Amino acid sequence: MTEPLLGRNIALAVGGGIAAYKACDLSRELQRAGAQVRVTMTKGACEFVTPLTLQSLTGNPVFTDTFDSSQDQQYGHLQLAKWADLFVIAPATADLIARIRAGLGNDAVTTTLLAFPGPVLLAPAMNTAMWEHAETQANLAALLAQPRYRVVGPASGLLADGDVGMGRLAELGEIVRAATALAANGPLAGKRVLVTAGPTREALDPVRFISNPSTGKMGLAMAEAARALGAVVTVVLGPVETPVPRGLDLVRVTSADEMLAAVMSRVEGCDVFVAAAAVSDWKAQTIGAVKAKKGDGPEQVTLVRTPDVLATASARVHGNATRPVLVGFAAETHEVEAYAREKLAKKRLDLIVANDVSAPGAGFGADTNRVVVFDAKGERLRAEGAKRDVAKSIWGAVLARGA
């Protein structure tokens, strides 16, 4: 993988030290590396640089106050913690390191961090005496004893107060490199993930087709979330207008037959296959070579079944010594669990993600979803919310399965 920050969501937490002004450039550097950046700041940080500066540089609102209800509801600690793949704390002041170590949640930065389970990069910056203080060193050591915390810097040199010594914020390039290394370390690092997404379109003649309203959003959310966890992801995508996240290997297809060919040439090389596409179940037995002219009476079209992409791929890999984890989706309108588990067994899957497409806030085109994940033993997970967050939760279940 060459660009681990591409498409990643980075929460940049700014502490209250003079090096806070460098967080402005850092936000740009992280974006240049392909990441999306959202910022949270301590009260002290806001004394050094204004939230508006960082808002303008990142194009996202800045979270500074847990008690400002408009902030907290829209982009507050829980939203930011869910959204982020990686936290970068720059500058990490002595006070902020101490508060994080103590598990406090007394401002926007620390409440967000308390709700965030992922990797955290600390970039300390402070006066040499504060850096060398036994409490600061003990606090940092305690954090670094947890595998999710890493540190970059500080560097030695001329400090803002005129002293020369340890305590300068690491060079921005070094912070970006450290963030990149941390991002490359996700639980799916080195894994290949194949995802089908979107509808298929089955031509009747050159101007007419059979399809369905799938937008590919859930499949693309699964792909993006896998990418964020470190995987190399290929998406076989049906015809949709939905914007495709960066950093994915994209194979565009139209029909079920094309989707099948694209999947069969790749499925044996992947570690996880996620079939989220809403493949048309039928296609015309013969496709008209020219536009059919309408008559006055009823028309007859003979429909035949399309290939079942997931079932065919599953049958192929089941004979192999090693095979990918197979994840299907089941869009149902009733008896969701029974039908989903039937598909799980019939297509010989490891997991199936069932969603009731008739439920409010779920299904085709929506930005949210409500799903239940089953394996052969029963229910594994329930998740609800933005498709991106639901996708993250589903990956939790896939990882628990040993992907």
Please say which residue, 14 or 326, places its beta carbon nearer to ligand CTP.
326
Please say which residue, 21 or 339, places its beta carbon nearer to ligand CTP.
339
CB of 95 vs ligand CTP, minimal distance in Å = 50
Q: Using CA atoms, how far apart are residues 20 and 92, in angstroms rounded to an integer?
A: 9
CB of 3 vs ligand CTP, minimal distance in Å = 29
- Contacts of residue 134, Cβ cutoff 8 Å, sequence gap at least 6: none
Burial label for 319, CB within 10 Å (0-12, 13-18, 19+), is exposed
CB of 301 vs ligand CTP, minimal distance in Å = 18
Please say which residue, 75 or 282, places its beta carbon nearer to ligand CTP.
282
> Residue 39 pairs with which residues in a beta bridge?
12
Please say which residue, 176 or 256, places its beta carbon nearer to ligand CTP.
256
Please say which residue, 120 or 309, places its beta carbon nearer to ligand CTP.
309
Give the closest residue to 351 by CA, choosing from 385, 304, 303, 399. 399
Q: Using CA atoms, how far apart are residues 169 and 152, in angstroms rounded to an integer?
A: 9
- Position 298, amino acid: P
Q: Using CA atoms, how far apart are residues 38 and 60, in angstroms rounded to an integer?
A: 6
CB of 275 vs ligand CTP, minimal distance in Å = 3
CB of 79 vs ligand CTP, minimal distance in Å = 29
**Is position 355 annotated as part of the catalytic site?**
no
Please say which residue, 182 or 309, places its beta carbon nearer to ligand CTP.
309
Q: Using CA atoms, how far apart are residues 354 and 339, in angstroms rounded to an integer?
A: 9
Task: 21-26: list long-range contacts, CB under 8 Å, 24+ apart.
Answer: 21/48, 21/49, 22/90, 22/91, 22/125, 22/169, 22/172, 23/49, 23/54, 23/90, 23/91, 24/49, 24/53, 24/54, 24/57, 25/172, 26/88, 26/90, 26/172, 26/175, 26/176
Enumerate binding residues for ligand CTP (CB under 6 A).
Answer: 196, 256, 275-277, 279, 281, 306, 308-310, 328-331, 343
CB of 87 vs ligand CTP, minimal distance in Å = 34
Planar angle of CA 73, 78, 79, nearest 5 degrees: 65
List the catalytic residue out of 9, 127, 185, 212.
212
Contact predicate 288/204, CB 8 Å: yes
CB of 391 vs ligand CTP, minimal distance in Å = 14
For residue 282, what is the enclosing H or E element? strand 282-284
Contact predicate 386/217, CB 8 Å: no
Give the closest residue to 352 by CA, choosing from 337, 362, 364, 363. 337
Q: Using CA atoms, how far apart are residues 238 and 255, in angstroms rounded to an integer?
A: 7
Please say which residue, 172 or 270, places its beta carbon nearer to ligand CTP.
270
CB of 330 vs ligand CTP, minimal distance in Å = 5
Strand ranges (E), 160-280: 164-168, 192-197, 202-205, 208-210, 232-237, 249-252, 272-275
Please say which residue, 169 or 340, places its beta carbon nearer to ligand CTP.
340
User: Concatenated DSSP letters for 219-232?
Assistant: HHHHHHHHHHTT-E
Active-site residue list = 212
